[in-house]
Structure 1
């Protein structure tokens, strides 16, 4: 039955996959398929993945789902993409489970179902997947498919932060700055923002909150959690703008965590009006010379 089901929804690409060798799949064929996708050689990718999927390769099933979802080498079809993704997810593949959550949350390939999304996010998060931990935390923070519970959200954000997630570190910084389920503490907020800001931000297009570069810039500008320093503030706002923090924040963020309504470009321009040309030039030099350098906090362990 499973073979009939699979063959029914790969009919579009079956003519490509018949080009696949009837010999057993080599250990490196999946890596070859991934490489083919990365360079846009979808004909080769489909040929390799078809052979792998016929041998029940979970990773190939997940990648086929992704190709249908993105329309890579096949007509974009969220329904078929979800079917392939579901096969891999039911086998316990965390990445596929997280993708199932995203599809249900956005109503792609199936009717939107936020509670079902939370179920899939949790399955992947329980396996330690950072993206799923953040997605599950967001669901609790925003009340999407689960009761709004910032305490439960922080638990998952901390698990993601333990794996160096800049997004999770940024949200934890916001929690301390705003006093969300923790004691309000500007110095602790600054520490978390600094951890996140010294990395490439992993969610630059998510506008419900500002980037950590923006947030640490705001703290330097106001002198909260650290000494006031317009030069450092301008450097960080310049970096925030360069990384894409240029859109007005989502109204949800403004309502939930009092996210600033100003964009990084607006904050940058406001600061520049208060500074000398020499200070501005120095801040721009610092921003130009900046390189990601995660700060590692070394803590004493009890013997």
Structure 2
């Protein structure tokens, strides 16, 4: 019951947060129609923009073909429209083209070309999603030689722009001394930033979610004061977000990712706690809402 209510709420908040400020304009109207599922209206509005060689419209139509939204699902057509936008320097389209090259959808699979397009969107376009896609490629050596330092560089760039996934990776790096000097306090800071957001890479299982990772810090008293109540709160949220499977062996070998799942850690911790502590942790989990973490730092003059 808790998971269903929590996930429904979290997804609703995420959807609202993804909607930009209301303002009149063909692009905004087309996006609003897509978001509302009114694909007939969306295609009509996009048609006018396509006549103007608008890269936003080319990207939007490409995504509609890839996903089969209002048009027959067609990876080749999707790639065609996305490539038009990508060639105009539209970063979102460049990233999507990279994904299609990586997956071999609508085009012959070419991992080197995927990296090329990710880099264009990450570097010139400054797109965090492309930055973490590029970092992932360097992390595992997919389309480019494995380069852990280069991977961490791009994770940090994306983290500085607010990607929860990249912030979580930075936390892992500092906790385990991966390409940086080991620092539990810095790890906790990065986990805290990531854990208070909706995780943007829930399907990535080489490391645990930031909710799991900050829970482990609270449970052990590393980087912060030991607090079983907060630990149980965060393990419960990690389980609600779907962190319920053991991590991939790659993560275990690379950064010693814990093998225990969030439900296992949650249940083990509950056995050490009083009923009052458990009730308090459950209350905190129920009341949690995603929010930005603002760190106030003094400035010397």
Alignment TM class, shorter chain as reference: 0.7 to 0.9
Q: Please state whether the residue corresponding to 1:274 is helix, strand or coil.
A: coil
CA deviation map 1:31-56 (0-9, x unaligned)? 22222211222122222222321221
Q: Distance in 2 between matches of 1:38 and 1:165?
A: 22
Q: 1:250 aligns with which of 248, 255, 261?
A: 248
Q: 2:149 aligns with which of 148, 151, 158?
A: 151
2:210 corresponds to = 212
2:119 corresponds to = 122
Equivalent residues in 2 for 1:121-200, closer than 5 Å: 121-126=118-123, 127-200=125-198
The alignment's C-alpha RMSD in Å is 1.6
CA deviation map 1:34-87 (0-9, x unaligned)? 222112221222222223212211111111100000001111111110111000
CA deviation map 1:231-260 (0-9, x unaligned)? 111011011112222233223222322222
Q: Distance in 1 between matches of 2:104 and 2:246?
A: 25
CA deviation map 1:210-236 (0-9, x unaligned)? 111100101111222222221111011
2:88 corresponds to = 91
CA deviation map 1:152-200 (0-9, x unaligned)? 1121111112112211111011011111111122222112111211222
1:15 corresponds to = none
Residue 84 of structure 2 corresponds to residue 103 of structure 1? no
1:241 corresponds to = 239
Q: 2:292 aligns with which of 275, 291, 294?
A: 294
Q: 2:42 aligns with which of 36, 40, 45?
A: 45
Where relative contact order (Cα < 8 A, 6+ residues apart) is larger, the structure is 2
CA deviation map 1:102-125 (0-9, x unaligned)? 111122112222211111111011
- Offset of residue 90 of structure 1: 0.3
Q: 1:221 aligns with which of 208, 219, 222?
A: 219
Report the TM-score when normalising by structure 2: 0.87
Could you say which structure has the larger radius of gyration?
A: 1
Q: Please state whether the residue corresponding to 2:70 is helix, strand or coil.
A: coil
2:269 corresponds to = 271
Q: Please state whether the residue corresponding to 1:298 is helix, strand or coil.
A: coil
1:34 corresponds to = 31
Q: Please state whether the residue corresponding to 2:205 is helix, strand or coil.
A: coil
CA deviation map 1:236-287 (0-9, x unaligned)? 1011112222233223222322222222111111111111111111110111
Report the TM-score when normalising by structure 1: 0.86
Size of the aligned set, in residue pairs, is 277
Q: Distance in 1 between matches of 2:205 and 2:185?
A: 24
- Offset of residue 96 of structure 1: 0.3
